[in-house]
Structure 1
Amino acid sequence: MQVAIMGAGAVGCYYGAMLARAGHAVTLIGRQALVDQVAAGGLRLEMADFDDRVALGASTEPSALADAEVVLFCVKSSDTEAAGEAIRPHLRPDATIFSFQNGVDNATRLSGVLGRPAVPAVVYVAAGIPAPGHVKHHGRGDIVVGTGDRVEAIAAGFRAAGIPTTVSDAVETVLWGKLVTNCAHNALSAVAQVSYGHMVAVPGVTDVMADAVDECLAVARGLGIGLDDGVKAMVLGVAASMPGQYSSTAQDMARGKPTEIDHLNGYVVRKGQALGIPTPVNRALWAMVKLQESRRPA
């Protein structure tokens, strides 16, 4: 397949490297530092059983995706509309676009900008960028994608590249499960700048996480999203499966970058307000991250 990654951060670089390693033609669209490193010697993919450089293309220009059959849209939630406008003139008429983003409404927002469907995807991967041109895999890597034209065939290509992929007509529910996980973990890891394992070892933290989950479940049910009580056990078990992982919000904050907190806990707070459902724990977590963000130089 001809694949383009729009917004090649940790998530985009990991999946791009996996697909390129399997023989697909991949182009990363990202920052100049990434482009320079990839041009000089490929992208370093570091995993438990693999550590080598993978050859692929890279560019800073959205026009570089003009030949792509498959586009993985990996930009931050706050950049969805702007990045969507940037790629819209360059998309092939038959391209399939996947929203590989946090939050639950990005595919809908992206579809509105593009004037064509974007397939929602739920991404479960722990990865980081230790240096430009180097992506390090910490855990998992499976994805759940929605249905659509050619999706089954593309999913088969993903699986053959070592990316466990499920196609689901209930992807909205799965997106909400991921949102609840992010709401429980991201802000706490970010404000304290600690890993998940460190975080849950501190007395009282799992109680705060459980309260945040309860609020999220109440809002989801108010919106007609069919999450069950088993979600709480799943969310609270995440730290055991990736104890060394820092949340994406923590990584953004450490680099002085804007976070996606408005589309995580902030989203739950806004929906709760509209439904008349109190969300004080999620509001506090959202506010703490916003306070930290306010310390960045203007």
Structure 2
Amino acid sequence: MKYTVLGAGAMGLRLGVLLQEAGFDVDFVDTWEPEVNTIKEQGGVYVSRDGQGRHLVPVKIYFPEEYKGNPDAYIVFAKQMTLAEMLKRCSHFFTDKQYVVSGMNGMGHIEQFDQYFAKDKVIGGTALIGTVLNKPGDVDFIGKPGAGSMHFANQTEKPDETTHQIMDDFQKANLNPTLTTNFMGTLMSKIVFNSVVNTLCTMMKIPMGEFIQSPTAEKLSRQLINEAYDVCERANIKLLGTREDEWETVKFVSETGNPLHYPSMYQDFSKGRPTEVDYINGYIYDLGLKYHYEATTHDFLRNLVHLAEFAGNFDLAAYVERVQNS
């Protein structure tokens, strides 16, 4: 099969490069000019693994307006805040036969995919795979080859032949995919994971391995997990595992899977970019309100992240000058 990756950031590059190395035809499309221009100038993307072995991997990358490819499936890894623009700029090359596969963080993207693709062509998923975009055209794969895993489900919860082919291709690329028939449960399981690890590591500015060593890590994690599960039970969403399973996943991935990894939310926060907290902790809180339940810890953390974003971008000198001149 032929694949086109929409969003050549950290995760988009990792999946696309691994599929390409497994022998598949892969194109990349992005709207971020520094990324596209740098990769074009370099003739590819520099890839490292855990900071070692940096080497240039040739890839084909395009702006949406210049792309003329016709893939069997799109792999989408964009930020929730930028997805609408990405899809709109790419819509001229979408066809009714193409599939879309995504393991994006947060929730909100499925409704946007449904505006361009039939529901039986939408495959949603999750990715427990650590990757860092060091700078435009330079990506670091965290973990040994084969580290991490992915879960996918068709929006219709009815896998077809093409879905199974995509899963086979992902397996050949060493992405460890698992196909389920529980769409919302699959997506929400990662939301719960991210609502713990991404948000707490971002607030404390620490990697996952340091977070999990804290004597308060388990208490904080279980509090957030319990609230999220309370919401899902009220929304009639059956998650892939139990509350205990979710805690064990947080513990294993933080201790063993990616102990040196700073989650993607921190990567955005540290670079002064908006985070996806509204689509993670905020999504859990807002979903709970629909069922007359307040996930107050999730809302508190969402507001703390926004306060930290504001403080990080606050111009103190300009503020002092305004006060002195008032």
Contact 1:68 1:95 in 2 (8 A): yes
Look up the match of 2:17: 17
Look up the match of 1:110: 112
How many aligned residue pairs are there? 297
Q: Does the residue aligned with 2:222 lie in a helix, a strand or coil?
A: helix
Distance change in 2, residues 1:38/1:212 (3 Å) = same
Distance change in 2, residues 1:43/1:212 (3 Å) = same
Look up the match of 1:60: 63
Look up the match of 2:319: none
Look up the match of 1:28: 28
Contact 2:131 2:142 in 1 (8 A): yes
Look up the match of 1:166: 178
Task: Compare 90-99 and 41-50 and name the one that shifted more.
Answer: 41-50
Look up the match of 1:128: 132
Contact 2:4 2:75 in 1 (8 A): yes
1:68-122 CA-to-partner distances (Å, cap 9, x unmatched) read 2221111112233332222222113321111221124422x12332152321111
Distance change in 2, residues 1:210/1:128 (3 Å) = same
Distance change in 2, residues 1:161/1:200 (3 Å) = closer
User: Distance between the aligned counterparts of 1:207 and 1:221, measured in 2?
Assistant: 21
In structure 1, what residue type is equivalent to 2:80? S
Look up the match of 2:150: 143
Task: Compare 281-290 and 50-59 and name the one that shifted more.
Answer: 50-59
Q: Does the residue aligned with 2:141 lie in a helix, a strand or coil?
A: strand
- The one of 127, 145, 168 equivalent to 1:156 is 168
Look up the match of 2:77: 74
* Structure showing greater Rg: 2
Q: Does the residue aligned with 2:67 lie in a helix, a strand or coil?
A: helix
Q: Does the residue aligned with 1:23 lie in a helix, a strand or coil?
A: coil
Distance change in 2, residues 1:62/1:248 (3 Å) = farther
Task: Compare 87-96 and 267-276 and name the one that shifted more.
Answer: 87-96
User: Distance between the aligned counterparts of 1:262 and 1:176, measured in 2?
Assistant: 14
Distance change in 2, residues 1:16/1:145 (3 Å) = same
User: Distance between the aligned counterparts of 1:4 and 1:125, measured in 2?
Assistant: 20
User: Distance between the aligned counterparts of 1:20 and 1:51, measured in 2?
Assistant: 17
Task: Compare 230-239 and 188-197 and name the one that shifted more.
Answer: 230-239
User: Distance between the aligned counterparts of 2:265 and 2:2, measured in 1?
Assistant: 31
- The one of 248, 252, 266 equivalent to 1:250 is 266
User: Distance between the aligned counterparts of 2:177 and 2:112, measured in 1?
Assistant: 22
Task: Compare 89-98 and 37-46 and name the one that shifted more.
Answer: 37-46
Look up the match of 1:99: 102
Look up the match of 1:180: 192
Look up the match of 1:232: 247
Using the TM superposition, give the Cα deviation of residue 281 of structure 1 relative to its aligned residue in structure 2, in angstroms: 1.2
Using the TM superposition, give the Cα deviation of residue 297 of structure 1 relative to its aligned residue in structure 2, in angstroms: 6.1
- Large movers: runs of 4+ above 6 Å: none
Distance change in 2, residues 1:15/1:115 (3 Å) = closer
1:243-268 CA-to-partner distances (Å, cap 9, x unmatched) read 11111110000111111100100011
Contact 1:66 1:92 in 2 (8 A): no
Distance change in 2, residues 1:250/1:100 (3 Å) = same
Q: Does the residue aligned with 1:276 lie in a helix, a strand or coil?
A: coil
Look up the match of 2:324: none
Percent of residue pairs bearing the same amino acid type: 21
1:121-161 CA-to-partner distances (Å, cap 9, x unmatched) read 11121000122212111133422222344111122122122
Distance change in 2, residues 1:25/1:114 (3 Å) = same
Q: CA RMSD in A?
A: 2.1
In structure 1, what residue type is equivalent to 2:298? N
User: Distance between the aligned counterparts of 1:235 and 1:163, measured in 2?
Assistant: 19
User: Distance between the aligned counterparts of 1:92 and 1:122, measured in 2?
Assistant: 25
Using the TM superposition, give the Cα deviation of residue 65 of structure 1 relative to its aligned residue in structure 2, in angstroms: 6.0
Distance change in 2, residues 1:275/1:62 (3 Å) = farther
User: Distance between the aligned counterparts of 1:14 and 1:170, measured in 2?
Assistant: 26
Q: Does the residue aligned with 1:92 lie in a helix, a strand or coil?
A: coil
Distance change in 2, residues 1:187/1:137 (3 Å) = same
